Amino acid sequence: MDLPTTTKAVRVHTPGGPEALVYDDYPLEEVGPGDVLVEIDTASVSGWDVKYRAGLLSGITLPGRRALPLPQQLGREGAGTVVATGAAVTRFRPGDRVAAVVHPENPDSLETIRGLGNLSKGIDVPGHASFGSYAKHVVRDERMWFPLPDHVDLEQAAVTLWPYGTSHRLLRDRLRVGLGDTLLVCGASGGMGEATIRLARLAGARVVATTRHAAKADGLRELGAEEVVVTEDPEAAVAAIRAWSGTDGVSHAVDYTGNATLLRLAIDALRLGGALCPASGAQVPPGPSPFTVNDFTRLEMTVVGVRGARHADALAVLDLLAHGRISNRIAARFPLAEAAKAHALLEQSTDLVGRVVLKP
């Protein structure tokens, strides 16, 4: 069988607006002995992709990760069907349905052997330091793919591992959200927000979500937020969240915006002994920290970080997907060639709730 030697793909060569996304034919890597060639059915579009394209991540360095290269083929995750496998591949055959590992663990590192794989170094994350899923064909090591049961929808699988994997780790291991807890999600209308709302509800927590746009409130309620607060007036928003909590503030909060005003709002909405996870990756725009030493004493506040997900989180969320316990709202689909339109929608919409995907 003749394998493709080029692929249609979308790459960023120079940071800029949506027009910086270049759809073209690009050379495809050869399928090495341990590689799997996949025809992509669906590629996810995320806030990370938009920031990468715009050059807003250029100052970010993550310990143990290579710098963010250009040109880059964006797409943190995707799903598709195996076309061919290298001679040494044992886990996959042509025709198998797969999703990409978005938080790969370095299989040879001590951290992974100790079960701390998200802290492993020396491995490239797709759509981050190695090429991602904005392509018709993708070649990757077999260890970078998860098998999918036949009944799991490829489009749903393509947008599950990154947000749900991270949220699973965040809620279960870092914030430890459980039955009867109250969780504030700041910046809830992206993929991370939806996954966090749905998983927190599954864990038995009540959720209040924030947005800058009143037109997103109904959509966020449909995802499972019991209350939605518009943050135009931060003081009024804090008062509304505290009133909704039924106690003196929420027990847990997560911020996906990196915005200093919303991080401050999250602290002010916490009850005594509350816990916060600032999960956005960076404060945008950079500036003075919104935390004070006094916050820790006054509230006995706990602040936890999160760095992606572990293999076990990925397995857990794929199992939840296969059992119909979680899902993703697909807000818009675009052909791969129209990736620029997908980015423009994500950046400019004031009423979009749910995922935007590309269909190669």
Among 80, 127, 190, 219, binds ligand NAP (CB under 6 A): 190
Q: Which is nearer to ligand NAP, 216 or 264 (CB)?
A: 216
Instruction: Provide the 10 A C-beta neighbour count for residue 327.
Output: 15
3-state secondary structure the chain: CCCCCEEEEEEECCCCCHHHEEEEEEECCCCCCCEEEEEEEEEEECHHHHHHHHCCCCCCCCCCCCCCCCCECCCCCEEEEEEEECCCCCCCCCCCEEEECCCCCCCCCHHHHCCCHHHCCCCCCECCCECCCCECEEEEEHHHEEECCCCCCHHHHHCCHHHHHHHHHHHHHHCCCCCCCEEEEECCCCHHHHHHHHHHHHCCCEEEEEECCHHHHHHHHHHCCCEEEECCCHHHHHHHHHHHHCCCCEEEEEECCCCHHHHHHHHHCEEEEEEEEECCCCCCCCCCCCCCHHHHHHHCCEECCCCCCCHHHHHHHHHHHHCCCCCCCEEEEEEHHHHHHHHHHHHHCCCCCCEEEEEC
| Residue 19 backbone phi and psi in degrees, to 5 | -70, -10
Which residue bears the tokens 């090591």?
141
Would you count residue 306 as binding ligand NAP (CB under 6 A)?
Answer: yes
Least spacing, CB of residue 86 vs ligand NAP, in Å: 30
Of 21-29, 85-93, 235-243, 300-308, which segment contacts ligand NAP by CB under 6 A?
300-308
Q: Which is nearer to ligand NAP, 10 or 185 (CB)?
A: 185
Of 104-112, 137-145, 277-285, 324-332, which segment contacts ligand NAP by CB under 6 A?
277-285
Would you count residue 64 as binding ligand NAP (CB under 6 A)?
Answer: no
Least spacing, CB of residue 160 vs ligand NAP, in Å: 13
Q: Which is nearer to ligand NAP, 50 or 98 (CB)?
A: 50
Peptide bond into 4 cis (omega under 30): no
C-alpha to C-alpha distance for 79 and 101, rounded to whole angstroms: 10
Least spacing, CB of residue 267 vs ligand NAP, in Å: 16
Among 259, 274, 276, 316, binds ligand NAP (CB under 6 A): 259
Number of residues interacting with ligand NAP: please give it, by CB under 6 A.
26
Would you count residue 279 as binding ligand NAP (CB under 6 A)?
Answer: yes
Among 172, 212, 221, 359, binds ligand NAP (CB under 6 A): 212
Would you count residue 320 as binding ligand NAP (CB under 6 A)?
Answer: no
Would you count residue 133 as binding ligand NAP (CB under 6 A)?
Answer: no
Would you count residue 160 as binding ligand NAP (CB under 6 A)?
Answer: no
Least spacing, CB of residue 190 vs ligand NAP, in Å: 2
Among 18, 132, 193, 360, binds ligand NAP (CB under 6 A): 193
Residues 16-55 contacting ligand NAP, CB under 6 A: 46-48
Would you count residue 134 as binding ligand NAP (CB under 6 A)?
Answer: no
Q: Which is nearer to ligand NAP, 106 or 166 (CB)?
A: 166
- Amino acid occupying residue 186: C
Q: Which is nearer to ligand NAP, 239 or 304 (CB)?
A: 304
Of 8-16, 60-68, 209-217, 294-302, which segment contacts ligand NAP by CB under 6 A?
209-217
Query: Please, what is the Cα angle at 234 between 228 and 236, to 5 degrees?
Result: 70
Q: Which residue, judged by CB position, is nearest to ligand NAP in the bound state? A: 47
Strand partners, 335: 359
- Enter the tokens of residue 60: 């970010």
Would you count residue 242 as binding ligand NAP (CB under 6 A)?
Answer: no
Would you count residue 157 as binding ligand NAP (CB under 6 A)?
Answer: no
Least spacing, CB of residue 169 vs ligand NAP, in Å: 8
List residues near ligand NAP by CB under 6 A. 46-48, 166, 187, 189-193, 211-213, 216, 256-259, 262, 279-281, 284, 306-308
